[in-house]
Homo-oligomer: A and B are copies of this chain.
Amino acid sequence: MTAPTRTATARERARAELTREIKEEARRQLVAAGADGLSLRAVARELGMVSSALYRYYPSRDDLLTALIIDAYDAIGEVTERAIAAAPAGRPRERWAAACHAIRDWARAHPHEYALIYGSPVPGYQAPQATIAPAARVPVALVGVLAQAAADGALAPASPSAPPLDGALAAQAAALTDLLGLTALPPDALVGGVIAWTQLFGLLSFELFGQLVGSFEPADALFACAVERMADLAGLPG
């Protein structure tokens, strides 16, 4: 910060690398014991350091946990954004489906990181402000697909038989479209997208947390079917 143009010293490079390695080892340990079981001493042991040395890199266990949480949100957010960008712009339904499948693929490949961010909150851990923006990437990307479709005139209008939005809900939706600058997106379409978003993660959590064992496992077919129904629900034309 004090001299941003200067090339990094050996010490600075070593510090950056170890900071990353600690995080990676911690991520590996999530698999074995979950967020609650993440132990600074175990991380240090695995890295061949003494546990107190970690305090040069992370001021406390919670800060390390926060770094993992932010990374996980960023990873799933990036995967989502990429999937959307890779699908044809003029076909919002395909973009939607691509995003959903990319999210599922990431979640199945990283179930413990998924549980870290979408599972039960870690008791005693208070998520700091810094997690909010990364956490928003997925839903923002998803409703972005709807907003683009709306701007292109490719979004199905609200069913005339559907009742108008409840007042409180309309206000929340309007506040959110304002905040995100999605002026083209009607409030009821946003609500449809948000409900589809909760649907997506509900199914994913059930799959990963074992609620479908013995009924719809493997869940590939159920997921594919749900993605289509979600697209309908969100107003994306077939």
Contacts and interface: CB of A to CB of B under 8 A. Distances in A.
Contacts of A36: 34, 36-37, 123
Copies in the complex: 2
Given A127-B210, A198-B199, A215-B176, A191 B225 contact: yes
Nearest to A221: B169
Interface of A: 32-37, 115-116, 118-124, 127, 132, 135, 161, 163, 165-169, 172, 176, 191-192, 194-195, 198-203, 205-206, 209-211, 214-216, 220-222, 224-226, 228-229, 233, 238
Contacts of A226: 195, 198
Contact of A209 (B121, B209, B215, B224): B121
The 9 A-B pairs at the shortest CB distance, nearest first, are namely A202-B202, A119-B120, A169-B221, A115-B120, A34-B123, A36-B36, A198-B203, A199-B199, A168-B221
A222 B120 contact: no
Contacts of A228: 163
Given A36-B37, A119-B119, A172-B216, A198 B206 contact: yes
Nearest to A125: B34
B37 A123 contact: yes
Contact of A166 (B37, B194, B215, B225): B225
A131 to B, nearest CB: 10
Given A135-B211, A202-B200, A169 B222 contact: yes
Contacts of A209: 118-121
A210 B209 CA distance: 18
Contacts of A222: 169, 172, 191, 194-195
